[in-house]
A = this chain, B = another copy of it.
Amino acid sequence: VAAPKERQQPNVLGNAILQLLSRSPASGYDLKARFYASIGRGWHAYDTQIYRELKSLEQAGYTTGRVVKGRAGPERRMYSITPRGKAAIAEWLASPMDLHKVKDEFALRVWSADLFPPGAFEQYLRDAREEWATMLENERMSLRVLVAEHGEPDGAAPANVFGRQLGIEFHIMTTEARLAWIDRALKVIASRADAGYVDTEDVD
């Protein structure tokens, strides 16, 4: 084979893809669906980006691709992880992670709470609460399904399900915290209103 293109380490998206491929071979189209259905809870990716990254991973020798007849429609390009790809995941999981490089637009908007026009922040929080409550119900349902199929994570579930279960539990717990914070914030806004303030005001 040709010498693998120089590339020190896959980026985060690359590792997310390798992680999925380590469970079973898949096409770009499959991965797109899996991002939407599972791992997208932790890392969002556009399909155009997935197709691009798959080529790059193959060139670097982390995966191998082969062409397969489509289920319906055009040919599919199926990718499998190579030993080099597995080594890359291990290296990624062992590498340190900077906890300070957060990007959370909701948190940023909260810092601007006092810049909303009067009343708007309260409405914004109510809308967010509804969206998250719906998502939370879906997540609880997914977890119940997994537990029903494979058992509780502490003992019965096979190792490859255990990560999925913990991942969903993580998503549930952090979403619950966001909802709890919203309730707290709404109470604060109500008290301020009682005390004769509007909840917010644009400074001059």
Contacts and interface: CB of A to CB of B under 8 A. Distances in A.
Q: Assembly of this chain: how many copies? A: 2
Interface residues of A, number: 77
A120 B108 contact: no
A19 B111 contact: yes
Contacts of A41: 102, 107, 111
**Interface centre among A15, A41, A162, A185, by most B CB within 10 Å?**
A162
A55 interface: no
A109 B90 CA distance: 11
Interface stretch (A71-79, A142-150, A166-174): A166-174
Say whether chain A's binding surface is mostly helix, strand, loop, or mixed.
helix
A120 B1 CA distance: 34
Interface of A: 12, 15-16, 19, 22-23, 38-44, 86, 89-90, 93-94, 97, 99-117, 120, 124, 128, 131-132, 135, 153-155, 159-160, 162-164, 166-167, 169-171, 173-174, 176-178, 180-181, 184-185, 187-188, 191-192, 194-195, 197, 200-203
